[in-house]
Amino acid sequence: MGNEQDRRVLLAIILSLGVYYVWVSFFAPRPTAQDLAGSDGTVGVESPVQAPMAGSASAGGDAVPGVEVAGATTPGSDDSAAEVPAARVPERKEPVQTEAFTAVIDSSSGGIQDLVLTDYTESPVTHALWSWVFDRLSGRTDAPWTAYTGGDEPKRILGEMGAIGLAGVGAPTGDGPYWIERDGDGWVAHRTTPEGVTITKTLRPGDDPHTMRVEVSFRNGGSRAVDRLWVGVADQMDGKAGRFDNIPRPEALVDDDVEHLLDISDVDGSRVERFDGPVGWFGVGDRYFMAVLAPTEELVGSVVMDTLADGRTGAFMVDGQALAPGETRAISFLAFMGPKELDLLQDLDHDLDKAVEFGFFGFFSRILLFLLKIFYMGVSNWGLAIIALTVLVKAAFFPLTQKAFVSSKKMQALQPQLKELQERYKDNKELQSTETMKLFRENGVSPMGGCLPSLIQLPVWFALYGVMLRSVELYDSSFLYLKDLTAPDPYGVLPVIYAVAILAQQRMMPMGSMDPAQQRVMKMIPLVFAFMMFGFPSGLVLYFSVNIILTVFQQWLINRNHDASQAREQKATP
C-alpha cells in the first residue's frame, strides 16, 4: 500500500506541474484595465483622448523641414497676449552615441528615437521542423526548411517611430515639433502647446553608457490651470504577445508591481490600462531589453498604457496635480536603454532590477544564475555551463535521491507482506493502516521517501525555468547545433532525448502494485512531458535532459548493487 501511495503522490505532483504549465501559458490573468479618469477598475469607459494638436508633427519618421506651428505662442507668454505669426520649426536630428547605444534626438518629438544597441544583435528567428512539415503537407509553403534565419542585424529596442521622453498636457497624444539646441554635453528641446504650456526637455549623458539624464519642465504661461501633465515612452506595436514571446510591449513598475500590456487590442484610445500608485519606472520592453524612464524622486501618480492617435502604443506617467498659471514644474528621470542584466540594473538602483521577473522562486533563480555565471567563466560556453550546473545540482541532491531509490527498493520487497496485511485486515481499515505503519518502521521504510526528493527539487526546477526564460546573459547564446538557448530546439533533438531517457527511467521503476488504469497514466506522463519540452527554451530542456540521464544512471547503479546484495544474501543463506 505504501508503494502505491508513494506513486499516487508522485503522479499528483507531476500532473500538477502539467496543469501549472498550461495555466501560466494560456490562462494567467492579465493586468486589469481601468479608466483613465478614475481608479475603480472599470473597463471600457471612454477616456478623453484628444485628437492630435493643431500643427503637431508625427513623432515618427522624418519631420517636414520648416514645420509650421499654427497659433503658437512665444515661450513664457500667456494666452491673453496676441498670437505671434506661425513659427516654423526646422527639422533636426541630433545623433547620440555612447559605448552602449546609438540614437537620435529628433525635432519631431524632442525625445530619443531610433535606439540601437551596439553590443547586441537581433536573435535569430527559430523555425521548428514539425511546423514546417505541417505547412508543407498542408500546402502552405514549398520553401526548403531552415532552422534559423537572421540574427545578424543590430539589436533595435526603439524604432524610427519609437520615442522615449514624449510629453504633453491632458490625455496622452502626439508630441512635437520641438526646437532643439545643443547645451554643453547635452541638448535642450522646447515647444509651447496651444494651452500656453511651455515644455522644455533637457537631455544629457548619464554616468553609465546605457543611461541618460532627462528633465522635463512644464511652465504654464496661460491664464488657466492645467492638469494631467504626462511623460511617456511609445513605439509601433500590434497584436498579442504570449508568455514565451520576445516581443516589445509597454511595461511599468507601479506600487512595486511590474505591469504589462500583452494584447494591444485591449486599448484603443477609448479604453486604457491604468495603474495607480508610486511610479518606479515605465516604458517599453521585451523579455531581455527595455527603454524606460525612472523618476529620480518619489512620484505618486498613475501609469496609463494606451494607443495614440498616430498608432503608437506606450506607457505614460500621468501627474494628476494641477499646474496653476505662472507655475513651473520639473520632473527628473533616469533614462535606461539596454539589457535586463541583473547586475547592471542592481547597480543603477531605482528598482530597475525588478524588470527581471524570475517569478515566485526568484530568490533561488538569482542563486542559480550566480552559479551559472561562475561556470561560464570557466568554460566560456553557456551550454557547457548549464551541464556543469546540472551536475552540481544533481550532486547536491544525490544523498536524498539515493535514499529515495533505496526506500523504493525496500518498498518493493515488502509488497508481498503488504498484500498479506491488506487481505488479512480487509474488513478493518484502521487496523490495516496501523499494521502497515508498523511494518514500515520495522524495515526502516518511509511511505513518502520516494516523493521527498521531487518535492524538495521543485523550487530548483521552477527557479531554473525562470533563469532560462528571463536571463539576458543567455540571450543569443549557442551550443552545438543550437544557435539560441533561450528559444525552443527547432530540430526537436533535446525533447526526444528527454522522452527516451524518462521512458528508460520508467521501465526501471516497478509498477506491479498499480492497477491497469494507473499504469496507463504513468506511461502517458513521459509523452506529456516530452510534448511540453518542445515549447520550452532549449537551455532548460538541456538541463532536464542531462538531469534525467544522470538519474537513470544513478538508478541503474542502485539496482545493480541491490541485486548483487540480494544475491550474496541468498548465497549466504543455508
Instruction: Using the CB atoms, write b or e for 105-118: b if 16+ within 10 Å.
Output: bbbbbbbbbbbbbe
Shared-domain flag, residues 299 and 378: no
Q: Considering the chain, what is the average pLDDT of its residues?
A: 77
Residue ranges of alpha helices (H) inside 202-348 are 342-348
Domain that holds residue 473: 2-23+361-572
Instruction: Give 258's strand partners.
Output: 253
Q: What average pLDDT does this structure show over 211-216?
A: 94
- pLDDT, one tens digit per residue, over 524-565 is 777 787 788 888 888 888 988 998 898 888 778 777 766 666
Strands 87-89 and 101-106: unpaired
Shared-domain flag, residues 537 and 392: yes
Q: Which of 188-192, 293-297, 357-361 has the lowest mean pLDDT?
A: 357-361
Give, for 279, the enclosing helix (H) or strand (E).
Answer: strand 273-285
Shared-domain flag, residues 539 and 397: yes
Q: Which of 21-30, 193-202, 228-237 has the lowest mean pLDDT?
A: 21-30
- pLDDT, one tens digit per residue, over 441-460 is 766 666 655 566 667 777 88
Shared-domain flag, residues 272 and 381: no
Do 198 and 221 touch, CB atoms closer than 8 A?
A: yes
d(CA 383, CA 372): 10
Closest CA to 214 of 104, 111, 288: 111
Domain-embedded: residue 122: no
Residue 160 phi, psi dihedral angles, 5° rounding: -65, -30
Q: What average pLDDT does this structure show over 388-398?
A: 85
- pLDDT, one tens digit per residue, over 146-171 is 888 887 888 999 988 889 999 988 88
Instruction: Give 250's strand partners.
Output: 284
Instruction: Give 424's strand partners.
Output: none
Instruction: Work out the pLDDT band at 19, boundaries 50, 70, 90.
Output: low
Instruction: Work out the pLDDT band at 90, boundaries 50, 70, 90.
Output: confident
Tally of domains within the chain: 2
Domain-embedded: residue 263: yes
Domain boundary among 355, 374, 396: 355
Domain-embedded: residue 117: no
d(CA 166, CA 238): 20
Q: Is the pLDDT of residue 388 over 50?
A: yes
Domain-embedded: residue 152: no
Domain-embedded: residue 336: yes
Residue 467 phi, psi dihedral angles, 5° rounding: -65, -45
Here the contacts of 255-262 (C-beta below 8 Å, separation 24 or greater) are: 256/280, 256/351, 256/354, 258/354, 258/355, 258/357, 259/31, 259/303, 259/305, 260/30, 260/31, 261/31, 261/305, 261/313, 261/315, 262/30
Shared-domain flag, residues 268 and 411: no
Q: What average pLDDT does this structure show over 235-262?
A: 84
pTM over 0.75: no
Q: Is the pLDDT of residue 284 over 80?
A: yes
Query: How confident is the model at residue 88, as a pLDDT?
Result: 73
Domain boundary among 330, 355, 380: 355
Shared-domain flag, residues 414 and 470: yes
Shared-domain flag, residues 236 and 373: no
CA angle 421, 520, 541 (to 5 degrees): 115
- The Cα-based distances of 425 to 8, 359, 415, 437 in angstroms read 22, 48, 15, 13
Shared-domain flag, residues 483 and 348: no
Q: Which of 3-7, 170-174, 424-428, 566-570 has the lowest mean pLDDT?
A: 3-7
Residue 394's contacts (CB-CB under 8 Å, 6 or more residues apart) are: 401, 547, 550, 551
Query: How confident is the model at residue 79, as a pLDDT?
Result: 38
Of residues 417 and 237, which shows the higher confidence score?
A: 237
Query: How confident is the model at residue 61, as a pLDDT?
Result: 34
Domain-embedded: residue 128: no
Shared-domain flag, residues 314 and 422: no
Domain-embedded: residue 82: no
Strands 273-285 and 300-307: antiparallel
Residue 168 phi, psi dihedral angles, 5° rounding: 180, -170
- pLDDT, one tens digit per residue, over 482-525 is 988 888 889 989 998 988 888 887 777 655 455 566 666 666 77
Residue ranges of alpha helices (H) inside 381-507 are 382-396, 398-413, 415-424, 429-443, 452-470, 493-507
Residue type, 486: T
Give the three-state DSSP class for 137: helix
Range ranked top by mean pLDDT from 4-13, 348-357, 428-437: 348-357
Shared-domain flag, residues 367 and 328: no
Domain-embedded: residue 156: no
Environment class of 442 (CB within 10 Å of its CB; exposed 0-12, middle 13-18, buried 19+): exposed
Q: Is the pLDDT of residue 42 over 70?
A: no
Do 368 and 389 touch, CB atoms closer than 8 A?
A: yes
Instruction: Give residue for cell 537631455.
Output: 203
Distance of CA 126 to the CA centre of its chain: 18
Shared-domain flag, residues 347 and 413: no
Residue 284 phi, psi dihedral angles, 5° rounding: -130, 135
- CATH number of the domain encompassing residue 271: 2.70.98
Of residues 398 and 564, which shows the higher confidence score?
A: 398
Cα Rg of the chain, angstroms:
31
Query: How confident is the model at residue 283, as a pLDDT?
Result: 94
* Cis peptide preceding 177, ω within 30 of 0: yes
Share of the chain above pLDDT 90, in %: 22
Give, for 361, the enclosing helix (H) or strand (E).
Answer: none
Q: Which of 108-112, 144-148, 261-265, 366-370 has the lowest mean pLDDT?
A: 261-265
- Count of residues for the chain? 574
- pLDDT, one tens digit per residue, over 253-275 is 998 889 888 888 778 767 788 88
Do 145 and 152 touch, CB atoms closer than 8 A?
A: no
Q: What average pLDDT does this structure show over 304-323?
A: 87
Terminal CA-CA length for the chain? 31
Give the three-state DSSP class for 464: helix
Instruction: Work out the pLDDT band at 177, boundaries 50, 70, 90.
Output: confident
Instruction: Work out the pLDDT band at 349, boundaries 50, 70, 90.
Output: confident
Do 166 and 314 touch, CB atoms closer than 8 A?
A: yes
Query: How confident is the model at residue 373, as a pLDDT?
Result: 92
Shared-domain flag, residues 347 and 440: no
Query: How confident is the model at residue 117, as a pLDDT?
Result: 93
Give, for 214, the enclosing helix (H) or strand (E).
Answer: strand 211-220
Q: What average pLDDT does this structure show over 425-437?
A: 72
Residue 172's contacts (CB-CB under 8 Å, 6 or more residues apart) are: 49, 166, 230, 232, 304, 306, 308, 314, 316, 318
Range ranked top by mean pLDDT from 327-341, 466-480, 555-569: 327-341
Domain boundary among 355, 381, 406: 355
d(CA 402, CA 394): 11
Q: What average pLDDT does this structure show over 388-399?
A: 84
